[in-house]
Chains A and B, each alone.
Chain A
Amino acid sequence: MNIFIPLIAGVLVGYVLRRKERRVNVDAPMSIALLLLIFFMGVEAGKVKIDALWLLSSSIVFAALTIAGSVGIALLVGGRG
């Protein structure tokens, strides 16, 4: 899976920077890249043609209930802390 390539490369770069005690602040580039990614995600979502209100409302119900189910089980296995 090629998602590992930039991740491992980044970890190595970060580790080298840490060893050299030259910490780089990645907050700003991460925010910019994240906003661009969300914009592109929105573009893809906007292209989807929704013919029926049913499809949209069903998607929202599924998304909300699957999130609620996952979070509920997470609270059971991990505790409320």
Chain B
Amino acid sequence: MRFLVYVLVALITGILTGHFYAPEFGNLYEVMLYLLILIIGIDLGQSFRLAEIRKLGRLAIKLPLGTLLGSLLGGLAASLLLGIELRWGLAVAAGCGWYSLTGPLIAQYSAVYGTLGFLANLTREIFTVLLYPVAIGKMRKELAVSMGGATTMDTTLPIMTKFGGSEVALIAFVHGFVLTALVPFVVPFILQLLAGG
């Protein structure tokens, strides 16, 4: 629980720093991400057993597809609730937390909804960081992975590994990997399909 406080402090300090000083750290974010992925890889290599992959079974495919479907249903509900055109709402939701891709893809059509796509998916990532440790107290920790969407193979993988254990790292990575392969196709598809010709 104390670590969650550190996470909140790091996040709030970062937001305040970004808001008031807007510093440029260059590619430090990517470097830090790759360092984390390396450490996670070492952890996986030390603890991973092949039998654990077999244990994943159909869940490895069912879970990410369920995550995408659930996201779209959530996007549908949000669109209806906020009175946003379905095309934009579904495209924002189909991002599954991948804000750096979803924002620019939607911004090709609308700057406002592109910003919404960025911010909504960034918020999803932040919520996942904050809520995953809480959610695993209420449900199976491998199913709670679904809240992170496509981010579970990189940015939210550390928090899931930290709180869920190294056995969750595998399902989280596979889940994020499948969604990362799908999202770049699904978001433009929705935008073009519902463009009305």
Contacts and interface: CB of A to CB of B under 8 A. Distances in A.
Do A and B associate with each other?
Answer: yes
Given A69-B73, A74-B66, A78-B140, A46 B17 contact: yes
A14 B63 contact: no
A12 B43 CA distance: 10
A51 to B, nearest CB: 9
Given A33-B158, A63-B123, A67-B74, A42 B14 contact: yes
Contacts of A53: none
Interface string A52-81: 000110111111111111111111111011
A58 B122 CA distance: 12
A70 B148 CA distance: 9
A66 B124 contact: yes
Contact of A71 (B47, B68, B139): B139
10 contacts: A6-B37, A34-B158, A37-B158, A42-B17, A48-B118, A55-B112, A62-B123, A66-B93, A69-B93, A78-B66
A3 B38 CA distance: 9
Given A37-B36, A55-B119, A78-B63, 18 more contacts: A13-B38, A13-B41, A14-B45, A37-B29, A38-B11, A40-B25, A41-B125, A46-B20, A47-B19, A55-B116, A62-B75, A63-B124, A66-B74, A69-B70, A69-B71, A74-B145, A77-B59, A77-B66
B6 interface: yes
B46 A17 contact: yes
Interface class of chain B by DSSP: helix
Contacts of B147: 67, 70-71
Contacts of B44: 7, 10-11, 14
B53 interface: no
Nearest to A34: B158
Contact of A59 (B71, B123, B128): B123
A62 B93 contact: yes
A7 B37 contact: yes
Contact of B13 (A31, A39, A64): A39
A75 B41 contact: no
Contacts of B115: 48, 55
Contact of A15 (B40, B45, B92, B159): B45
B34 to A, nearest CB: 5
B1 interface: no
B164 interface: no
